[in-house]
A and B are shown apart, each in its own frame.
Chain A
Amino acid sequence: MTSTLENQPAPSAGPGRAVREVGIAIIGSGFAGLGMAITLKRRGETDFVLLERAGDVGGTWRDNTYPGAACDVQSNLYSFSFAQNPDWGRSYSEQPEIQAYLQRTADRFDVRRHCVFGADVSSARWDDDARRWLVSTAAGDFRARVLVSAAGALADPTYPDIPGLDTFAGTVMHSARWDAAHDLSGEKVAVIGTGASAIQVVPAIQPVVGTIAVYQRTPAWVVPRTDHPVKPWMRRLYRFVPGFQNLVRAALYLFREFLVIGMAKNRRFLKPVGKLAQAHLHRQVRDPKLRRALTPDYTIGCKRILISNDYFPAVAAPNAELVTAGIAEVRPHSIVTTDGVERPTDTIVLATGFHVTDLPIAEKICGRDGRSLAEVWEDGMVSNRSATVAGFPNMFLLVGPNVGVGHTSMVYMIESQVAYVDDALQTMDAEGLAVLETTREAQEAYRELIAEKSKGTVWLGGGCASWYLDKHGHNSTLWPDFTFRFRKLTKKLDRENYVGTPAVPAQRPEVAA
């Protein structure tokens, strides 16, 4: 074996390494990667791999194991339409249940056999001569006809740039990289950040820790969480009454879609939601001073609306403190704020979010001219229908630019995207295309469409800085309209916006031979 390999010329993708040929390489095995894989599988396509950097499927729901991690969208809606689960234990599931669902779904559709675990992608380059993507991973190299990036937006944690953080002698952990072995009981814990992760982790750890200091830069609007266990008879209805769960799902979908009217159409319609959040805060926090500190100064919806019934009580607990002064520096055993107060600290929890507008995967994917997606996107993320980018042939993005939603299920958007990509792949097969690439014109038109739709939305005009906007202040992450409009837009491949290059049959093998 060894001698045979040595006698052969080294493959071009990596010296001394075997290269695996595949039809489709999918990066990531979260909701998007699994959704893509299952869709391919269900129509009989099996020539694909899922390149997963970790040791299991699940993506964001595998990684975010911090105490209290849960979904802000009801599970009936936050699940695959083709793999509904009548057995959800709660209306809003917690992380372990969602992760178990993803694992179960992967098994049910026999996707795991296509997974390559430990395959952290270091680069993906388009070889224009071979018309293949060359993907280098920690688990070997791949040559793929089509590249689907399902790496996700909430994948790579952001670490804040706080002076002295690296000198801290205690434990520092990001909420998305939770160390369950670390015992917080009795400790002086600092939580930095007040976003979606923070408001889940704070109430979960507050009863356990010695004391907890929540470092807040901007408060969030919080509305009540209508979470409840699902009654056994309800589960039986879901299981045995055909269409019942679909009906509930549709009702939840429609109800949530009403929020779009307020967020993207006319902000007046957000007023009742703002009133609800204000009443929630008023009821849960008595102290007018603390209430003021927890009241945002921007329009509700500008940043993600959070849902919680136990965050405010946790912040107002006897062992808690809300710190609104900015952090000046971290010392080996303490955090110093700009008001000159130094708080001794044992553990720092960074609930500081993810690289969303600067997706790290974009640095690793290089197109026809050798430039990376990140370089091409220097002036903002552009795409055609959130899925394809000119100069990056045969590449499709899932959960890329302008598909994010703050009000409803991301899985709905993912399924819309998967259908679009699948239609593109089938079109390529049907037309015998070796290469499919979108045009700059289509990209420009889509950018204008997004900019037009984003005008006057609460995300741009709500008076806040959020992770929805890129460094130029453009909305490059959210779909700024009803989600059914996105589904309609991506129902079929817009063939007119693509240039296809037919395969030249039987030419290359002869030359290669």
Chain B
Amino acid sequence: MSAGTVLRRIAAVPTPDGAVLHAVVDGSDDAPVTIVLAHGWTLAQAAWDDVADLLAPRVAAGELRLVRYDQRGHGRSTWGRYADDVAELSIDQLGEDLGTLIDELAPSGPVVLGGHSMGGMTIMCLAAARPELFGDRVRGVALVSTSAGDLAPAGRTLAEKLQLKLAPGMVTVAIGGARAFERIRQLLPPTNPRHRKIVRELLYGADATEDMVVEGAEIMHATTVRAFAAFYPALGEHDKRQELRALAHVPVEVLVGDSDKLTPKRHSHQLAEVLPDAQLHLADRTGHMLPQERPELVVDALGRLLAAATAAQAVA
């Protein structure tokens, strides 16, 4: 019994501006390395559940500690200073949050970071703001279905131009009318096949099972319209292409699905170009929800990073 149990504790990490981040810490505090996983836009830490399940035996064996957390404004985590006004919200804030979380929950010892979509951008922002963390503390990074920038439509076609013009107003309307939007949204819950069809077409690859789609749709359904609208412009503004130097100091694994519509594979190619030592993995018949669709690929990537992190530790 004792060998098989996974030690778990909940952490409510306060940020300097008064937000509270909800984290689940699996594993013993004296494990040799800590993995911290950051989820994507409108998701929650539950998006990592399949990865966590595959890692559970290694957590139980004391090989690693696993930290999953809800990003600000997502899941159980609160908004902090953006509770009333989201105008200044940027992905940089999420990078800062991740730094706070590492300081609080993994104050020493090697750390491996994994980020999916907006979570990957979160890691890039942390690398830009606190490059000194990377190398000694952060020993490896997995960037899954993510981008270093250039996500907003370029404004080349008429439709894109229109979208750019209307987007800010739309966001304001969405936040202002969040309650009304919520009500409309409740009319089409994840149990509705049409809801699942939309989600599947946008986010999933050809091999995704119905269970995966329901799971993902439910996680997103739990996210507020406010989070959806507030982070949308922040994602468009995210551009860290010139600030990824810190990531060059650590092993990086880049993963993307070949049918990713949100962060198409060109973004991952771009990352691999900027980070020449990064390992790029393209997953067949896979959409944006790669951690759910191909959790074993993520676990393999994390495994390689862990091996490198602990080997580096042995040398040091």
Residues of A within 8 A of B (CB): 188, 210-211, 213, 282, 286-290, 316-321, 328-329, 334, 336, 340-344
Contact = CB atoms under 8 A, between A and B. Distances in A.
A211 B10 CA distance: 6
B54 to A, nearest CB: 15
Interface string B7-23: 11111100000001110
Given A211-B11, A340-B5, A319 B190 contact: no
Interface residues of B, number: 30
B5 A286 contact: no
B9 A343 contact: yes
B76 A317 contact: yes
A288 B20 CA distance: 22
A341 B53 CA distance: 12
Closest 6 CB pairs of A and B: A319-B12, A318-B22, A287-B222, A318-B20, A342-B5, A288-B218
A105 B190 CA distance: 56
B10 A286 contact: no
Given A289-B46, A316-B76, A318-B78, A211 B9 contact: yes
Nearest to B186: A282
A336 B5 contact: yes
B189 to A, nearest CB: 8
B11 A340 contact: no
B6 A318 contact: no
Contact of B10 (A287, A290, A321, A342): A321
A43 to B, nearest CB: 59
A320 B218 contact: no
* Residue among B12, B75, B221 with most chain A CB within 10 A: B12
Contacts of A316: 76
A188 B6 contact: no
Contact of A340 (B4, B76, B189): B4
Contacts, number: 68
B90 interface: no
Interface string B243-278: 000000000000000000000000000000000000
B139 to A, nearest CB: 27
Contact of A286 (B4, B12, B222): B222
Contacts of A211: 9-12
A341 B5 CA distance: 5
Contacts of B77: 318
A316 B60 CA distance: 27
A213 B9 CA distance: 9
B224 interface: yes
B159 interface: no
A297 to B, nearest CB: 17
A314 to B, nearest CB: 11
B1 interface: yes
Contacts of A334: 7
24 contacts: A211-B11, A211-B12, A286-B222, A286-B223, A288-B218, A289-B218, A289-B222, A316-B76, A318-B20, A318-B70, A318-B78, A319-B10, A319-B20, A320-B10, A321-B24, A329-B1, A334-B7, A340-B1, A340-B6, A342-B5, A342-B6, A342-B8, A343-B9, A344-B9
Nearest to B56: A340
A286 B224 contact: yes
Given A287-B222, A318-B20, A188 B78 contact: no
A285 B5 CA distance: 29
Contacts of B76: 316-318, 320
